[in-house]
Amino acid sequence: PPSQAMWALGDKIASSIVAQTAGIPTLPWSGSGLRVDWQENDLQKRILNVPRELYEKGYVKDADDGLRAAEEVGYPVMIKA
């Protein structure tokens, strides 16, 4: 498989975005609802790239961002590295 596919499926955030894009249910997390906009050409080639801007929306950047995400997701929360 291409290196982008290996990264997208091996990374926790990227793989969750890929699952959500495919319509697979995920547990609530800071990136709930994030989906990749596929182009028709990508669908035919079966290529899915998680853009950096979208990826960065999936993780918590600081304590305030973490508190906001916890309020959205609901308590209790699990923090993963």
Is 20 inside any structural domain? yes
Structural domain of residue 31, as residue ranges? 3-73
User: pTM value?
Assistant: 0.80
Determine which of 2-6, 8-12, 50-54, 77-81 has the lowest per-residue pLDDT on average: 2-6
Separation of alpha carbons 13 and 59, rounded Å: 7
Residue pair 16/58 in contact by the 8 Å Cβ criterion: yes
Is 79 inside any structural domain? no
Is 12 inside any structural domain? yes
Separation of alpha carbons 48 and 32, rounded Å: 18
How many domains, in total, are found in the chain?
Answer: 1
Q: Check pLDDT > 70 for residue 42.
A: no
In the block, tokens 């959205």 appear at 72
For the stretch 52-76, pLDDT in tens is 999 999 999 999 999 999 999 999 9
For the stretch 24-40, pLDDT in tens is 999 999 999 999 987 77
Is 78 inside any structural domain? no
Determine which of 14-23, 36-45, 68-77 has the lowest per-residue pLDDT on average: 36-45
Question: Residue 48 belongs to a domain with what CATH number?
Answer: 3.90.1770.10
